[in-house]
Amino acid sequence: MSASKPALRIAIIGGGPAGLYLATLAKLLNPKHEIEVWERNAADDTFGFGVVFSDETLGGIENADAAFFERLSQDFATWDDIDVHFRGQVLTSGGHGFAAISRQRLLAILRDRCEQQEFG
C-alpha cells in the first residue's frame, strides 16, 4: 500500500463561501486533488450583506490555512462588546470577540485563494 494519499476528483456544487472554502481546504489536504466548483450565478452576484465570525471560528480558520486567514483579516471590522438596548437602558456584555466582512469581499478573497491553488 502506498504511503501517499490518492488524488480525488471532487465536484462542489455552489460557489458561495462554504463551497469555495471547502475547495481550498480540500486542495490543501492534497494538492493533487482535481477540484471543480460549479456555480449558477456570475462571480459578482451575491445575496446577503455580510458574514460574521466568532473568535473561536477564526481560530479554526487560522489553524487550517494561516495564509488565507492573514489575507482575510486585512478586511475585517472587529468588536468585542455587544450592547443590548432595552426599555431605555443599554446593557453591555464584553469579551465576545467577533469579526465581520462583506459577503462580496469574502467571495473575492476566496476566489483569489482558489486561483492561487490553480483549480477550476
Is 67 within the bounds of a domain?
yes
Q: Is 4 part of any domain?
A: no
First vs last C-alpha separation in the chain: 30
Report pLDDT digits (tens) over 71-84: 999 999 999 999 99
Q: What is the pLDDT of residues 96-114, one digit of tens each?
A: 899 999 999 999 999 999 9
Helices 103-116 + 66-73 axis angle, to 10: 140
73 domain residue, yes or no: yes
Assess if residue 40 is contained within a domain: yes
* CATH code, domain carrying 97: 3.50.50.60
Split at pLDDT 50, 70, 90, the class of 36 is very high
- Say which amino acid occupies 10: I
For the full predicted model, state whether its pTM sits above 0.85. Answer: no
Range of the structural domain that residue 92 is part of: 9-116
C-beta separation of 114 from 24 below 8 A = yes
Number of domains composing the chain: 1
